[in-house]
Amino acid sequence: MIPFLDLKAINLAHRDELINAFTRVLDSGWYVLGNEVKQFEASFADYCNANHCVGVSNGLDALHLILRAYDIGAGDEVIVPSNTYIATWLAATYAGATPVPVEPCIDTYNIDPSLIEAAITPRTKAIIAVHLYGQPADMDPIMAIAEKHGIKVIEDAAQAHGALYKGRKVGGLGHAAGFSFYPGKNLGAIGDAGAVTTNDAELADKVRVLVNYGSKVKYHNEVQGFNCRLDELQAALLTVKLPHLDDETQRRKAIAKQYTEALQGLEVVLPQVMAAAESVWHLYVIRCKNRDKLQQMLAERGVSTMIHYPIPPHQQKAYSEFNHYNLPISEKIHQQILSLPISPTMTDEDVLDVISILREVQI
């Protein structure tokens, strides 16, 4: 049995260090907004080459709080990719704004910059550029459009910790970025966690106030904020895992390379990475006409795969007001995609097994 993502094995590799960190926090008697969060924020800002990092409770809150801090809300529109995890859309909705879907490029699955301008109206306040599956969105044209129209670009970097665009790290490419440290992300906590990174000092300051009840000084509330803080415990655990992230990414890259070389010539579309980008391979997503059958045949032979995602946001019950939209590229992608196992703990042999089983069941 080849698991899709072996979280237990990933975290067991750091077991002693994680337990030491847990003990240190437990024994400190200080569990919310202290030195562990400060230290992780400094290391993660440094890792992303961004000037500021604010730890938050999860990736959805990171995106939502950025929108709030930019005063984006009721009556405003936020451009989002039509194919993304629903959290990208929910962040806009949560702030009171309307998500406006724009179709992706069929080859990279990231938002198509050439379609963005047609979606801009006088109400548009921001574009959320998702770095889907670990590959950065094509940021230069997106930033140029945003500059022309005086709107913000927010990176949804939940799947792309450490990915590069023209040699520059995600998290410092747009006006602000939201990261998730959900356990299954490339940098995963032992629970929920997230962060905002930015080079905009004022934005960082506003997010820091919003996460903590709208307060800078205890019991003095400047605005009606939220409780969306990153825990000391999760920060300490993330501080253990961050120094190992690049090694794990290297392993993901090697697995992706092995798949791409060995799967040429099969009746499947392999992932494509722009010349300007270096993916961190959060997911290795292939496309296939008989996706459901392929998934079933792989499952029968012990290979776990997943679909990211089976239903596009505009077809979800939660977004019934969008159900009549026609977004053919996104719909086609959702019908055909399949994510192969890509756990940094997979051995070369596991990868070869997946490859030979895929060749064997070729449909």
Asked if 333 is part of the footprint of ligand PLP (rule: CB under 6 A), the reply reads: no
How far apart are CB 88 and ligand PLP at their closest, in Å? Answer: 5
Among 5, 126, 158, 204, binds ligand PLP (CB under 6 A): 158
- Interaction between residue 237 and ligand PLP (CB under 6 A): no
CB of 159 to ligand PLP, least distance (A): 5
- Reading the block at residue 10, the tokens are 């990933």
Of 17, 40, 20, which is closest to residue 234 (Cα–Cα)?
Answer: 40
Within its chain, how far is the Cα of 34 from the centroid?
A: 26
Q: 125: part of which helix (H) or strand (E)? A: strand 124-130
**Cα(176)–Cα(363) distance, integer angstroms:** 44
Strand partners, 159: none
Among 156, 200, 231, 331, binds ligand PLP (CB under 6 A): 156
Binding of ligand PLP by 160 (CB under 6 A): no
Quick one: 52 or 131, whose CB is closer to ligand PLP?
A: 131
Smallest distance from the beta carbon of 67 to ligand PLP, in angstroms? 13
CA distances from 63 to 95, 261, 269 (A): 9, 36, 31
Does 185 participate in catalysis according to the annotation?
A: yes
Residues 56-115 that bind ligand PLP (CB under 6 A): 58-60, 84-85, 87-88
Does 210 participate in binding ligand PLP (rule CB under 6 A)? no
Q: Can you tell me the distance from the alpha carbon of 243 to that of 13, in angstroms, rounded to the nearest whole number?
A: 13
Both structure tokens of 270: 């392999």
Q: Six-digit token pair at 16? A: 């002693």
Report the alpha-carbon distance of residue 358 to residue 262 in Å, rounded. 10
Q: How far is the CB of 60 from ligand PLP (least distance, A)?
A: 4
Contact region with ligand PLP (CB under 6 A), list: 52-60, 240-248, 344-352, 354-362: 52-60
> Is residue 159 near ligand PLP by the rule CB under 6 A?
yes
Query: Which residue blocks in 116-266 are alpha helix, DSSP H?
Result: 139-149, 201-211, 232-241, 245-262
Q: Is 180 in the site for ligand PLP (CB under 6 A)?
A: yes
Q: Please tell me the distance from the alpha carbon of residue 214 to that of residue 207, in angstroms, as a whole number.
A: 9
Nearest residue to 108 (alpha-carbon basis) of 303, 296, 278, 294: 278
Which amino acid would we find at residue 28?
A: S
234 touches ligand PLP by CB under 6 A: no
Q: Which of 70, 109, 165, 182 binds ligand PLP (CB under 6 A)?
A: 182
User: Least distance from C-beta 339 to ligand PLP, angstroms?
Assistant: 12
Q: Is there binding between residue 199 and ligand PLP (CB under 6 A)?
A: no
Nearest CA among 296, 300, 58, 63 for reference residue 194? 58
Nearer to ligand PLP among residue 88 and residue 234 (C-beta): 88
Per-residue contact flags (x/-) with ligand PLP for residues 121 to 150, judged by CB under 6 A: ---------x--------------------
Q: Which listed residue (125, 169, 185, 206) is catalytic?
A: 185
Number of H helices, E strands in the chain: 12, 14
Number of residues this chain uses to bind ligand PLP (CB under 6 A): 15
Q: Minimum distance from CB of 84 to ligand PLP (Å)?
A: 5
Q: Which residue has tokens 């198509």? A: 112
Within 13 A of 15's CA, how many CA atoms are on the CB side? Answer: 5
Quick check: bond before 47 cis, omega within 30? no
Residue nearest to ligand PLP (CB): 59
Please enumerate in sequence order all residues whose Cβ is within 8 A of that of 352, keeping only pairs 6 or more positions apart, or say none: 258, 262
Measured from the CB atom, the residue of 189 and 351 that comes closer to ligand PLP is 189
Q: Which stretch binds ligand PLP (CB under 6 A): 97-105, 153-161, 241-249, 320-328?
A: 153-161
Amino acid at 122: P
Q: How far is the CB of 46 from ligand PLP (least distance, A)?
A: 21
Binding site for ligand PLP (CB under 6 A): 58-60, 84-85, 87-88, 130, 156, 158-159, 180, 182, 192, 194
Residues designated catalytic: 185
